[in-house]
Chains A and B, each alone.
Chain A
Amino acid sequence: QVQLVQSGAEVKKPGASVKVSCKVSGYTLTELSMHWVRQAPGKGLEWMGGFDPEDGETIYAQKFQGRVTMTEDTSTDTAYMELSSLRSEDTAVYYCATKIAVAGSWYFDYWGQGTLVTVSS
C-alpha cells in the first residue's frame, strides 16, 4: 500500500517560488511514476507534469514549461514540485499522485492529501 504525505500549506507573495514535497512510504520512489495535479478553488483538476517511465524523463504540461521543476530524492523517497514566478492564479491545492499501468491502461491510483498554496500580496 502506497502512502503519500505532502508538506503543509504555504503563503507566498507574487513573484516568489514555492516548493512542495511528497513523502512516499510503502514503496520506493524508484518503483513509482510520480505526477503533480493542481486544483484552483472551486475549479477542476489540472495535470502539471510527471515522470514518464517509458521515456525515463520528466514531462511538463506546456502551460507550466519554464516555471515548474519536479525532482526526486531517492535517498529519502521524497518527490518535490517547485513552481516559480508565482501569480495569484497559482493559488490552488497541489496534489502529488502516482500513475500506474494495468494491462496497458494508465491511471492515477494513489494521491497525497494536497497542499494549499496561496499567492497573495
Chain B
Amino acid sequence: DIQMTQSPSSLSASVGDRVTITCRASQSISSYLNWYQQKPGKAPKLLIYAASSLQSGVPSRFSGSGSGTDFTLTISSLQPEDFATYYCQQSYSTPDFFGQGTKLEIK
C-alpha cells in the first residue's frame, strides 16, 4: 500500500499570505495526486487533480506541483474562505489513501 504523509499537520497564517503544504508518497505515484479542501461539517471538495490540474470553478490562487513522491499545494494569497483542512490523495493504485490532513488556521 502507498502511504501518504502531509506536512505540516497544522499551519497558522494571515489573509494575504502565501502558503505551501507538502505531501510525500511512500513510493513513486507519477502525477496521480489529488488535493481536497474540507470545511467543518462539509464534504471534501476537489481542488487539484493529476498533481497540477485545477478543477473547474476553483480560484486560480490555488496551484499544485510535483511528481514522483513529492508534491505541493500552494495558495498564493490566502482569502478568509480558505481557512479549512486540506488533504492529498494518491490515485496511482488501490487503496486510495489520503494524507492525514493539514489544518489551516487564521493567525
Contacts and interface: CB of A to CB of B under 8 A. Distances in A.
Interface string A4-26: 00000000000000000000000
A44 B96 contact: no
B43 A113 contact: yes
A107 interface: yes
Contact of B43 (A47, A103, A114): A114
A47 B34 CA distance: 14
Contacts of B46: 107-109
B83 interface: no
Interface residues of A, number: 23
A77 B49 CA distance: 27
A106 B34 CA distance: 9
Nearest to B98: A45
Contacts of A109: 46, 55
Interface residues of B, number: 24
Contact of A107 (B43, B49, B94, B100): B49
Contacts of B50: 102-103, 105, 107
B89 interface: yes
Contact of B98 (A35, A46, A106, A112): A46
A62 interface: yes
Given A35-B96, A45-B98, A105-B32, 14 more contacts: A44-B98, A44-B99, A44-B101, A47-B98, A61-B95, A99-B96, A102-B50, A102-B53, A105-B34, A106-B32, A106-B91, A108-B46, A111-B43, A111-B45
Interface of B: 31-32, 34, 36, 38, 43-46, 49-50, 53, 55, 87, 89, 91, 94-101
Interface of A: 35, 44-47, 52, 59, 61-62, 95, 97, 99, 102-103, 105-109, 111-114
